[in-house]
Structure 1
Amino acid sequence: MEINAEASRNPRLREILMQADRRLKEEGGRLSQRYHPGLSDARRNAASELIAVLTEGAAYRCELSASTPVDKADLEALYNMIFDRLFDEQA
C-alpha cells in the first residue's frame, strides 16, 4: 500500500509499477494460452486482471489475518473453485 501511495506522488515510480503490472499480465496471458488455449483474448485478459486482484488482496490481507484466522484448507478450496470456473473454456 505504501508503494502505491508513493507512486501516486512519484511519476517515475508509477511508471515502474505500471510496467511491472503489464509484464505480470503478459506472462499470465502466455501461461493461460499454453494451458487453456480455448480461452478468448478477452477472457484471458479478464482472468489475468482477476488473478492480479486476488493476489494483491491476499498479500494485503496477510497482514490482517492474524487477528481473524481463516482455515487455509477452506480458503484453498474456494480459490480452486474460482480458478476452475475462471478457466472453464465452456463458460
Structure 2
Amino acid sequence: MNADELKIIVDKINELPYRKILIDGQWGIGKTKYVKDSIDSNEHLNQTSSISYSSLFGVKELNFLIEEMYTHILESLPQKSVENIFQNLEI
C-alpha cells in the first residue's frame, strides 16, 4: 500500500462496509498520521463508533496484542459496566 491509497481508504472509512481494517505498508509512509488525523477530524466517526487503534510496531508476542485489545474494549465501556464485570468475577 502506498501513501495515496492509504489516504483514500482513511478518508472514505465511513463509506466502507468494513468494521475492522489492518493497514500495512512501508515504514514512513504516514500510516499512523493519516489514521490518527482522520479519527481526530471526523466528529461523526468519533460519536458513532468505538474506535480502537493499536500499533504492531515492536510487538513480538500475540498475548501483548490481545491484552491491549481487551484494554481498549474495557476503556470503551461505561464505568458501571466495568464495575459489574469485575464484581461478578470469581477469583
TM bucket (normalised to shorter chain) is: 0.3 to 0.5
Higher RCO structure (Cα 8 Å, ≥6 apart): 1
Higher helix share: 1
TM-score with structure 2 length normalisation? 0.36
